[in-house]
Structure 1
């Protein structure tokens, strides 16, 4: 579709007709939150977990949810109009105020926008990554639209011929510029623990669930950069990229320089989980 139907403030309309005010606080201040929810076979994947994270982010910026869970389900479900794989982008800003002022305005209506985009869920290609100092703020556990630092960090990876930046804060790795991180250390799948310096990823949590279910050793703990560089395997995860193996870090091979056996096992488990989800009634 050249002009897909989107949702904006109570209406479904063509994307070309969706407009917001230049005084919207999302435009002026980056004052808002967002979610990205995959849909497989026309079904929203891990929707409850995504809505819980949305509510958590809204509370974190002191903004009440403009809609109840059932209403979210209806709106997002309407955007998933076929059986293809899609990504649903949902954004909520504090709304449009009569003047530009840092202080929260009173009695304004949040701006709610959502759209669906087709995604390709083919097997990911091995990736290269580069380490960067984590220059972001102290509230990275909130999924806010204030993403300029992430943009700059991701661009730094591209400038180095890589697909992702591995962020380092106080000598430990936190996450990717647009992903969560996993490393295999002596056969154990390790990921940095949740906290204010990384986003609590829905795919991240599912990987840990699958590891526990299938008896794969896993742990959540801090990973010093020096230890991370010695990892047998490195992956990054996100809702749309799923599980991506990193075969080169800072121009040096990770492990044997090819996707590792535990990544292959986890990838197959993830795909089987997705297929079961597709087939469930």
Structure 2
């Protein structure tokens, strides 16, 4: 595709998607005020936002992977011009009338431009159509509400109905306390949907990013046919500080990080963000070729 074609997306939805991706990356209003520098939270290196966008927010000095928004993440893996969002209007429901929940939801929406912590879509990766869901840690720490559970479940069911592979990028602090037991019910709901998807012969690739914890780890994030993880991602149920306080012992260095989980068989491969599209493309193309030979 030529540079001119990339400057002028073909559909209003694609133009909206590209605008949201640039907003997530910090290169569009209201966050963009040039020149703007971003500092690595680990090594302290400062670079312009353009440099960080070019590296997909992977520090060129120490390699740490910074958190990125859902639409920007989708733009890094989907083929240009293939994005189509699923169920964009599903929003949180204050079922328990939890104090200040509505106000906090409104503030999170203004800050991120999102209605909820999950974005689901269909698109092509390396020419292969797939259903992709992303949890955005900027919205309530990617916590699983009834709306997040519903969006994930509908994405799974859409993939099953259309016989498409499924990819879910997880980043979550766990269940959303403001929705209590209704949030915890989403663990069973999403897991049951994945079981039906598995019985239909669908391929599910789970991608674990920093952090993936709590009820999300204990449900759909751990049920992939293939499980990938970004470098340095914290992956577990309870956090290391909670475990240390509970058992009264010091945990080994790197405990619960993606490299530790790879050594212990919890993930299949640790993949740097800049290589993720290539790896996903290879998996999806092999899967598609295998289905055709049946």
Normalising by the smaller structure, the TM-score range is under 0.3
- Structure holding more helix per residue: 2
Structure having greater relative contact order (Cα 8 Å, sep ≥ 6): 1
Q: TM-score, structure 1 length as denominator?
A: 0.25
- TM-score normalised over the length of structure 2: 0.25
Structure 1 or 2: more strand by fraction = 1
